[in-house]
Amino acid sequence: MKKIRDGQTIIGMLEGGELAAALGTEITETLAKLKELAGDRPKNKAKGSVTLKINLEVEAGAVTINCDIDSKRPKPQRGSSFYWVVDDGSLSTEHPQQTDMFAGPREARQRESV
């Protein structure tokens, strides 16, 4: 009777070896994405994970093994945009309470006499 107790051997045998290949691919793809997100900047981190879940069901002295591979990769950080909201709800690139000094001459306002 051949006994298999080594975890690496067991994982390598599951799904006819396809599970180990899929796990390796998932780890490689996750690492590539994390490297891309972290870039070459010092102290810039990107974190992720790869999880192998092994479900075991024993019945009448035999086991059925079903596996699931899950990975978590951070979403790429997106830039932000800044605009002013004007009274009617539309957006403006100019502060609504400041005048544009490059728009040309403005009409002079007369002071009221006191």
Cα–Cα distance between 100 and 58 in angstroms, integer?
A: 77
In a domain, residue 83? The reply is no
pTM above the 0.75 mark?
no
DSSP-assigned letter for residue 100: -
Q: 54 and 67 in contact (C-beta within 8 Å)?
A: yes
Rounded distance between C-alpha atoms, residue 51 and residue 2, angstroms: 29
Residue 55: give the domain boundaries: 7-72
d(CA 38, CA 112): 62
Q: Alpha-carbon dihedral of residues 77, 82, 86, 91, nearest 10 degrees?
A: -60
Tokens of 7: 């975890």
- The tally of domains found in the chain comes to 1
- Look at residue 104 in the predicted model and tell me its pLDDT: 63
Please indicate, yes or no, if residue 62 is contained in any of the structural domains: yes
pLDDT digits 0-9 by tens, 44-94? 888 999 999 999 999 999 999 999 999 998 877 777 788 888 888 888 888
Domain annotation covers residue 92: no
- The Cα–Cα gap between 12 and 98 comes to 68
